């Protein structure tokens, strides 16, 4: 299944058609632009395609390090399954109870952020993540969020409108604003979009 886009054709048409509503003949072009801009936002912020609208579970494997903490990248919601290899055997996994694991940061979903780590829950019968390569199997929605954040959606709409308008000017690097008698340079991201993606940029150490 291809990764989700972060805005709809109707969203972009609503902004493009403030003065003159667009008919359906532009829908295909706008859909392609929205997909391209959505993937651009993924790349600029350092995330996988579709990370801001994850709908389906995927399975990922991690090495255990005999610790109570397991760093997992970004997980948009609590995992649907956590399984650990039996005695370090990466071919046989035992599914843990949901109560054995605590997602961190604790308030991530309420704050619209992803979980970054799974901890052994206090009182769990498991004392640590067992050491071993590929010893831990996590099933869940890996990515930043399950629902597109409002400002990411806004960034895609702004940049898609700008890309569509630039296409109408034969992709020139300078566009005219006839009402003001000014020239506008259109290279790089829109300044408002740049502010948004900078706030979401993912840094890895």
pLDDT, tens digit (0-9, with 9 covering 90-100), for 95-152: 999 999 999 999 998 899 999 999 999 999 999 998 888 999 999 999 999 999 999 9
Give the rounded distance of the alpha carbon of 60 from its chain centre. 17
Q: Evaluate if residue 4 carries a pLDDT over 80.
A: yes
pLDDT of residue 19: 59
Residue with tokens 């709908």: 55
Q: Tokens 């979009």 belong to which residue?
A: 193
pTM, two decimal places: 0.85
Assign 203 a pLDDT band (cuts: 50, 70, 90): confident
SS3 169: coil
pLDDT exceeds cutoff 90 at 180: no
Residue-wise pLDDT for 141-161, tens only, equals: 999 999 999 999 999 999 999
CA distances from 35 to 7, 75, 153 (A): 9, 23, 12
Q: Is 178 left (phi over 0), alpha (psi -120 to 50) or beta?
A: alpha
Q: Determine the 3-state secondary structure of 142 from DSSP.
A: strand
What is the rounded average pLDDT for all residues in the chain? 88
| % residues pLDDT > 90 (the chain) | 68
Q: Could you tell me the pLDDT band of residue 5, with boundaries at 50, 70 and 90?
A: very high
- The residue among 179 and 194 whose pLDDT is bigger is 194
d(CA 101, CA 165): 50
Classify residue 85 as exposed, middle or buried by CB count within 10 Å of its CB (0-12, 13-18, 19+): buried
Residue 183: what pLDDT?
47
pLDDT number for residue 171: 52
SS3 content of the chain, % helix, strand, coil (to 5): 30, 25, 45
């Amino acid at each position: 299944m291809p990764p989700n886009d972060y805005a709809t054709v109707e969203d972009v048409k609503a902004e493009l058609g403030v003065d003159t509503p667009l008919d359906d003949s532009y829908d295909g072009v706008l859909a392609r632009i929205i997909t391209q801009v959505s993937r651009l936002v993924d790349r600029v912020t350092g995330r996988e395609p579709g990370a801001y609208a994850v709908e389906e579970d995927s399975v990922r494997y991690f090495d255990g390090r005999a610790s109570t903490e397991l760093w997992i990248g970004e997980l948009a919601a609590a995992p649907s399954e956590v399984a650990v290899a039996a005695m370090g055997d990466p071919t046989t996994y035992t599914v843990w109870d949901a109560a054995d694991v605590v997602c961190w940061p604790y308030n991530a979903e309420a704050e619209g952020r992803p979980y970054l780590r799974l901890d052994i829950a206090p009182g769990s019968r498991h004392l640590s993540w067992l050491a071993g390569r590929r010893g831990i199997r996590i099933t869940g929605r890996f990515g930043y969020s399950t629902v597109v954040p409002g400002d990411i959606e806004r960034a895609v709409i702004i940049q898609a409108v700008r890309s569509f308008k630039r296409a109408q000017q034969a992709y020139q690097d300078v566009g005219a604003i006839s009402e003001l008698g000014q020239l506008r340079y259109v290279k790089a991201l829109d300044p408002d979009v740049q502010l948004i993606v900078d706030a979401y940029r993912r840094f890895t150490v």
